[in-house]
Structure 1
């Protein structure tokens, strides 16, 4: 690895650590530089804008989430319904355990910026969901991408509203398992574990 690539990787790693420990609002170029052990001007040499660095950090989050989804889906076996349940559970667990990263990954300004191919990093995970929906949809159902989008919106809404405390308050649920089960049942008549 070249020295430039090494500094770049250290900056991203420091940013990932900062987001995971303190949330996305704690991210500043100066703090990332301090944690990476480089001058406060170094981030600008490797990332022309703050959005570039945030996008690189978010890419790491998508890579982590995609790897986790892949692992849990392999463990779920070949049944697409079990795999959808595993994907949903992993998504919600990731959102709860990595709140700052989850929020950063789905910031519209980062996704819309086109920086560092962030959209291209997030779309393969959606493609997995589309593929699973295509396997379980009935001929009379909407197209698989539409079904996948609806389920994703439902999962994302559960993750956000749970983190904000709105769903526990409104539903009295002690955890999000019943909500995952209900989301899968509503969308496909699936049963979540």
Structure 2
């Protein structure tokens, strides 16, 4: 257990930090507002001033995960490179996140579409917007459906590779090779050719 000092105004962040720690150690079933209050050294009712119930806390964790992953993807895209090199970097940070924070990644995608709260939907939307922008100018293609399918297939493929590594089915080094192979296949596929308008594939 970690006990982190806080001052008025940052209890929310402390609770989220503690919740992430519990999530990594014990999974989502290990999270309770009462336990988080104990870990933070506050009364058992204090968390409810920020999170009315446990689900509100889980939603905030999911939103935070999307924000963090989006920042990692944006950083990977910040290096000038042809599209294949950029997508390989993006894929690697995506897979690393999904391996190192597997329980958080599962939580992020546990709410189904429109059933997710608006802040979670918005944070997820920003991630997929960044991935879409990485493909190049949308005005250069008349197949917007291909772009959406490409981003979804990208996410599904990378999360699948991460699941193989996290489960111990393949070593992490082989997972890195699979990432390279997957991006080569995706970018040169018929779908990739229709979706990606930037040169350098």
What range is the shorter-chain TM-score in? 0.7 to 0.9
Q: Does the CA contact (< 8 Å) of 2:63 and 2:108 recur in 1?
A: yes
Residue 114 of structure 1 pairs with residue 117 of structure 2: yes
CA-CA distance at 1:72 after TM superposition: 2.2
Inter-partner Cα distance in structure 2 for 1:111 and 1:161: 28
Structure-2 residue corresponding to 1:147: 150
1:123 paired residue among 108, 122, 125? 125
Q: Does the CA contact (< 8 Å) of 1:22 and 1:100 recur in 2?
A: no
Q: 1:81-105: per-residue Cα shift (whole Å, max 9, x none)?
A: 2211111000001111122222222
Q: Does the CA contact (< 8 Å) of 1:95 and 1:159 recur in 2?
A: yes
Q: Does the CA contact (< 8 Å) of 2:70 and 2:130 recur in 1?
A: no
Structure-2 residue corresponding to 1:177: 176
CA-CA distance at 1:161 after TM superposition: 3.2
Inter-partner Cα distance in structure 2 for 1:85 and 1:152: 13
2:57 paired residue among 33, 43, 53? 53
Structure-1 residue corresponding to 2:4: none
CA-CA distance at 1:180 after TM superposition: 0.8
Q: Does the CA contact (< 8 Å) of 2:66 and 2:124 recur in 1?
A: yes
Cα distance change of structure 1 residues 150 and 110 upon mapping to structure 2, 3 Å threshold: closer
Secondary structure, counterpart of 2:174 in structure 1:
coil
Greater share of residues in helix? 1
Residue 37 of structure 1 pairs with residue 47 of structure 2: no
CA-CA distance at 1:40 after TM superposition: 1.7
Q: Does the CA contact (< 8 Å) of 2:165 and 2:172 recur in 1?
A: no
For residues 16-31 of structure 1, what are the structure 2 equivalents within 5 Å?
16-31=20-35
Q: Does the CA contact (< 8 Å) of 1:29 and 1:40 recur in 2?
A: yes
CA-CA distance at 1:42 after TM superposition: 2.0
Structure-1 residue corresponding to 2:104: 101
Larger relative contact order (CA 8 Å, sep ≥ 6): 2
The CA RMSD over aligned residues, in Å, is 3.0
Secondary structure, counterpart of 1:176 in structure 2:
helix
Structure-1 residue corresponding to 2:14: 10
Q: 1:101-128: per-residue Cα shift (whole Å, max 9, x none)?
A: 222222226973316x111111111111
